[in-house]
């Protein structure tokens, strides 16, 4: 079958694609920016193609999607804004229908949230509204509704991980007593692939969950048990949603936008209503503890397929990558370092591709951590996002408070764009270039200031730049894997 997969670079889409390819399907991946779509691994297989579209606008049908058999709708705007995003969701769903109805599609599959509670958050209400919009299509709709998804890199998993591993004692809001039925990412993928072209599921909606109903407090405690940690949690009745949002924001790697929307959603019970989908598809629900253990196996094997942090919803900046892929020259300050490579060029390239996260920034890591802390204080993303994989980077990924604009390993170029709060815009670029038969590491930091404040900022940090950027360039070139025992 030929499948249209929207949200193909998102958390679920990245994991569903290999499942569909393994089942022998041809997949047209729909993305907003082709630059973010990898061309290696499963993405480079003959059965995979890419189609660029922004569903906030009308999308013209093209030959690549006209003959699809089914379409997955995996688009949502939960974290793009903190206000009312109902209109944005409706527009996206309506334009999606407009496209699909011009194709041969016989089924739309939509992953939604559980919406059984009468008092829904804005996020869950918008999910329900999207279902109603999609249901008006002439193409049969199958809805799979999940609550908390547990898997390596999922937002809920990473937030719980941050809380448990960083706080021995927690004073928490009362919504930690809200009930949920967490589900393993593996089960979610089984449901999404299992309903594909299964006529019994056409025009039906199914709640899915794991085998246990747990409060958020119980999830935290069981997570701690898996990690071998002793934790104490006390809930207090008076903690406003805004204060709760700040609590999540400062302690975890989440953005404030996501924290705010999560807090409002976490006050709503997300317990599935009974249905026969589990039996129909022969799925065995994975327990919460097992799901956590499986997630850590992926993390320890450095095999995390996707992470919520690599989605633009984790950004401070809301601009598209295409706006910043060209580094400006006029009105900019630059710090440029050129180092002749006297060691293995391949090792230098690997060092560049491993920057940030647990590896750090090769020089003055405490200064980078201080900058990350300061960024958090003024509403930025800070350093806590880290990176998804230790040695692998794709365009669009996050590296601490940077966004990867270009990860072109064959041409030995890595370009990062700063998503920290700045009175201007900043780029950091690494290249390996050849001059007169010799190989050089070219490291360039570019800053485009906004007004007088931006210029004052550059001159204020200029003394640190000499040591940080010089040390970074030197150590990127000379760092060896065994140096991890003695961090720089």
Q: What is the CATH number of domain 2-300?
A: 3.40.50.720
HEC string of the chain equals CEEEEECCCCHHHHHHHHHHHHCCCEEEEEECCHHHCCCCHHHHCCCEEEEECCCCCCCCCCHHHHCCCEEEECCCCCCCCCCCCHHHHHHHHHHHHHHHCCCCCCEEEEEEECCCCCCCCHHHHHHHHHHHHHHCCCCCEEEEEECCEECCCCHHHHHHHHHHHHCCEEEEEHHHHCEECCEEHHHHHHHHHHCCCCHHHCCEEEEECCCCCEEHHHHHHHHHHHHCCCCEEEEECCCCHHHHHHHHHHHCCCCHHHHHHHHHHHCCCECCCCCCHHHHHCCCCCCHHHHHHHHHHHHHCCCCCCCHHHCHHHCCCCCCHHHCCCCCCCCCEEEEEEEECCCCHHHHHHHHHCCECCCECCCCHHHHHHHHHHHHHCCCCCCCCCCCCCCCCCCCCEECCEEEEEEECCCCEEEEEECCCCCEEEEEEEEEEEECCEEEEEEEEEEEECHHHHHHHHHHHHHHHHHHHHHHHHHHHHCCHHHHHCCC
Question: Under CATH, domain 315-485 is a member of which superfamily?
Answer: START domain (3.30.530.20)
Out of 20-24, 310-314, 390-394, 408-412, pick the least confident.
310-314
| For the chain, domain boundaries | 2-300, 315-485
Say whether pLDDT at 456 is over 90.
yes
Question: What is the per-residue pLDDT across 231-263, written as a single tens digit (0 to 9) for each?
Answer: 998 888 776 667 777 767 777 766 666 666 666
Tens of pLDDT, residue by residue over 177-227, are: 888 999 999 999 999 999 999 999 999 999 999 999 999 899 999 999 999
Range from 118-127, 395-404, 431-440 carrying the lowest mean pLDDT: 118-127
The string of pLDDT tens digits covering residues 359-398 is 889 998 888 888 888 887 777 777 777 787 788 888 878 8
């Amino acid at each position: 079958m030929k499948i249209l997969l929207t949200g193909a670079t998102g958390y679920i889409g990245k994991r569903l694609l290999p499942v569909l390819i393994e089942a022998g399907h041809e997949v047209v991946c729909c993305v907003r920016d082709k630059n973010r779509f990898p061309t290696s691994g499963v993405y480079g297989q003959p059965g995979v193609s890419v189609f660029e579209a922004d569903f906030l606008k009308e999308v013209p049908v093209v030959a690549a999607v006209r003959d699809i058999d089914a379409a997955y709708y995996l688009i949502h705007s939960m974290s793009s804004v903190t206000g009312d995003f109902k209109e944005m969701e409706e527009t996206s769903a309506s334009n999606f229908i407009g496209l699909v109805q011009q194709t041969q599609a016989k089924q739309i599959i939509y992953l939604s949230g559980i919406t059984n509670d009468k008092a829904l958050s804005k996020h869950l209400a918008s999910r329900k509204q999207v279902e109603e919009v999609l249901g008006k299509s002439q193409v049969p709709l199958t809805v799979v509704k999940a609550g908390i998804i547990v898997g390596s890199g999922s937002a809920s998993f990473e937030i719980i991980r941050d809380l448990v591993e960083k706080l021995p004692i927690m004073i928490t809001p009362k919504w930690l007593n809200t009930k949920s039925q967490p589900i393993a990412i593996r089960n979610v993928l089984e449901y999404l692939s299992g309903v594909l072209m299964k006529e019994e599921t056409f025009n039906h909606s199914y709640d899915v969950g794991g085998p246990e109903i747990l409060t958020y407090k119980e999830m935290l405690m069981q997570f701690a048990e898996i990690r071998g940690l002793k934790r104490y949690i006390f809930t207090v009745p008076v903690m406003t949603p805004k204060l709760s949002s700040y609590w999540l924001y400062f302690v975890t790697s989440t953005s404030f936008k996501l924290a705010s929307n999560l807090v409002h959603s976490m006050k709503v019970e997300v317990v599935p209503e009974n249905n026969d989908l589990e039996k129909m598809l022969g799925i065995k629900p994975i327990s919460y503890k097992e799901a956590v253990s499986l997630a850590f196996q992926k993390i320890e094997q450095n095999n995390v397929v996707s992470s919520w942090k690599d989605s633009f919803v984790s950004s401070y900046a809301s601009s598209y990558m295409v706006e910043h892929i060209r580094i400006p020259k006029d009105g900019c300050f630059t710090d440029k370092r050129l180092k002749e490579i006297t060691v293995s060029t391949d090792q230098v390239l690997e060092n560049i591709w491993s920057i940030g996260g647990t590896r750090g920034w090769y020089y003055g890591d405490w200064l980078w951590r201080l900058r990350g802390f300061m960024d958090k204080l003024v509403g930025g993303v800070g350093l806590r996002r880290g990176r998804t994989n230790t040695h692998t980077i794709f365009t669009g990924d996050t590296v601490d408070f940077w966004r990867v604009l270009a990860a072109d390993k064959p041409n030995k170029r890595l370009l990062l764009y700063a998503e920290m709060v700045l009175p201007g815009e900043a780029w950091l670029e690494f290249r390996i270039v050849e001059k007169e038969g010799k190989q050089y590491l070219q490291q360039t930091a570019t800053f485009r200031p906004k007004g007088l404040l931006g210029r004052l900022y550059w001159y204020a940090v200029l003394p640190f730049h000499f040591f940080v950027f010089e040390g970074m360039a030197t150590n990127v070139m000379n760092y060896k894997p065994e140096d991890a025992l003695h961090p720089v």
